[in-house]
Chains A and B, each alone.
Chain A
Amino acid sequence: MRNDKSDEPARLGNLLLQTGVALIKSGAGSSRVITNISRFAIAYGYEANVDLGTRNISISLHQEARENIFSGSRSIATLPGANFKVIAVISQLSWDVVEKEISLEESAKVINHVFEIPTYKRPVILLFTGIAGSAFCYTFGGSALEMAITFLATVVGLFFKQELVIKRYNPFMITYGSAVLAAAVIGICWKIGVETNLDHAFATCILFLIPGVLLINSFIDLMDGHIINGIDRGINALMHAFWIAAGLSTVLYIFKIL
């Protein structure tokens, strides 16, 4: 098996494509994807040329004097999300391949199961994101009551978002729906007369929807010279921000706060 090298480029190429797709889906910046893929390819004695978008990837493999020995591409059905465990596992694997000379079969095994790595339990995510929401409220100058209301709104909004993600709605509609629900929780609290000034709570209850990974990756891509991908991610982030604003204004209009 190990002496039969004839199908190695094809297997390596497919593995690299899978790796690239996993990295893009998990919210890695363009240079990180290219660095990781090149590291894999060099460790197995090839040179990889990568063409990268935010929803597609093509790789061609070369070996020193010989001409192109593999080319392939994949398109990605979904917009990039965030799953840093995948990024950490793949980065670790790429170094193990360089330093410990792991065989192609073994790395393929890891890459194939990369999305089966367990995530945090849902209540844990809800609890800590709620705490993050109320933490934001504190740093913006909110009172303890506002922090509690923000916690409630964030948990309700995020729960709804998770439900919509499971049902595979359009990502922007998910953002809009969750923004409406989170802001509506604050609006209801205001209507039943919890506190008259809930400005900080309104500003911070939708912050869990802010596409932070996209925004930062967008600027990092622009800095690295991946201009098209940077603009792509930036516009994507802007779309999310627009839908958050739309959700917020819907609630402000319904409750006649504005």
Chain B
Amino acid sequence: MIPDWIDIIFKAFWCGCAAMGFAILFNTPPRALFAIFLCGSLAGFFKFTLLLPDVGGGIILASAAGAVAIGFASIPVSHWRHIPPAVVSIPAVIPLIPGYYAYQTMLGLISFINQTDAALLISTAFNAAMTFFIILGISLGVTLPMLLFRIESVKKVNYSFPNWRKRK
């Protein structure tokens, strides 16, 4: 049995790989690729940590937290690599998209044609609702920094820590 934290690191690593794969599919500039890998891993780390039974965040909150992490990370990253934040955040949140719930929803709807069972309809509706709310949570999380700071462009945001030493 692998300890939980190693499992989380593995999953975070593969989330980063998935983010980078999609970044290449979307033809993102090469200078952004490593940053996207890091953002994807960060999101995976947050998501799977919150999903631990001891933390018990639930999948919606976990995905939203991952997306918030990407949203905030994309601002310094876009300064660092000189790219718009959406170019970083969209490939990075792709691993959070609830593919399995979406798949179960489709499969449930298809099975309902042959098998008119109320339990099947309920589980399909549950999967559809989960898909919808996870995507809603992700997109809210990604746009959260923009909404909080009412920014039109990240160029005007200064994320550097205040210079405490000078104040003495």
What string of 1s and 0s marks CB contacts (under 8 Å) between B86-125 and chain A?
1100110111010110111011011100100000000000
Chain B interface helix/strand/loop/mixed = helix
Which residues of B sit under 8 angstroms from A14, Cβ to Cβ?
none
**Contact (Cβ within 8 A) A135 B14:** yes
Any A CB within 8 A of the CB of B29: yes
**Contact (Cβ within 8 A) A129 B86:** no
**Contact (Cβ within 8 A) A132 B21:** yes
| Chain B proximity of A180: nearest CB distance (Å) | 14
**Contact (Cβ within 8 A) B18 A132:** yes
| Chain B proximity of A61: nearest CB distance (Å) | 20
What string of 1s and 0s marks CB contacts (under 8 Å) between B29-41 and chain A?
1001000000000
Q: With A and B bound together, what is the CA distance between A28 and B20 in angstroms?
A: 19
Any B CB within 8 A of the CB of A76: no
Q: With A and B bound together, what is the CA distance between A252 and B104 in angstroms?
A: 14
| Chain B proximity of A191: nearest CB distance (Å) | 19
Q: Known contacts A91-B83, A140-B100, A212-B90; is A135 also within 8 Å of B21 by CB?
A: yes
**Contact (Cβ within 8 A) B139 A133:** no
| Chain A proximity of B112: nearest CB distance (Å) | 11
Q: With A and B bound together, what is the CA distance between A43 and B128 in angstroms?
A: 46
| Chain B proximity of A51: nearest CB distance (Å) | 19
Q: With A and B bound together, what is the CA distance between A125 and B22 in angstroms?
A: 9
Any B CB within 8 A of the CB of A258: yes
**Which A127-158 residues have C-beta < 8 A from chain B?**
128-133, 135-136, 138-140, 158
Partner of A138 from B11, B87, B104, B142 at Cβ < 8 Å: B11
**Contact (Cβ within 8 A) A204 B28:** no
Chain A interface helix/strand/loop/mixed = helix
Any B CB within 8 A of the CB of A223: yes
**Contact (Cβ within 8 A) B97 A131:** no
Any A CB within 8 A of the CB of B135: yes
**Which A88-141 residues have C-beta < 8 A from chain B?**
88, 91-92, 95, 119-120, 124-125, 128-133, 135-136, 138-140
Partner of A135 from B15, B139, B147 at Cβ < 8 Å: B15
**Contact (Cβ within 8 A) A219 B17:** no
Q: With A and B bound together, what is the CA distance between A210 and B97 in angstroms?
A: 9
Q: Known contacts A140-B99, A219-B136; is A29 also within 8 Å of B86 by CB?
A: yes
Partner of B143 from A138, A220, A241 at Cβ < 8 Å: A220
What string of 1s and 0s marks CB contacts (under 8 Å) between A54-91 and chain B?
00000000000000000000000000001111011001
Q: Known contacts A88-B84, A203-B100, A210-B97; is A119 also within 8 Å of B27 by CB?
A: yes
**Contact (Cβ within 8 A) B25 A32:** no
Q: Looking across the interface, which residue of chain A has its beta carbon closest to that of B10? A: A138
**Contact (Cβ within 8 A) A245 B109:** yes
Partner of B102 from A82, A132, A216, A241 at Cβ < 8 Å: A241
Which residues of B sit under 8 angstroms from A125, Cβ to Cβ?
24-25
| Chain A proximity of B46: nearest CB distance (Å) | 13
The contact sample of 9 A-B pairs, CB cut-off 8 A, is: A28-B86, A35-B152, A87-B84, A138-B10, A207-B97, A210-B102, A219-B139, A249-B106, A258-B110
Q: Given A135-B15, A138-B11, A220-B142, list of 9 further CB < 8 A pairs? A: A84-B23, A84-B26, A91-B83, A128-B25, A131-B20, A136-B95, A206-B103, A241-B106, A244-B106
Shortest beta-carbon contacts, A-B, top 4? A132-B21, A219-B139, A245-B106, A135-B18
B contact residues vs A (CB 8 Å cutoff): 10-11, 14-15, 17-29, 32, 44, 82-84, 86-87, 90-91, 93-95, 97, 99-100, 102-104, 106-107, 109-111, 114, 135-136, 138-140, 142-143, 147, 152-153, 155
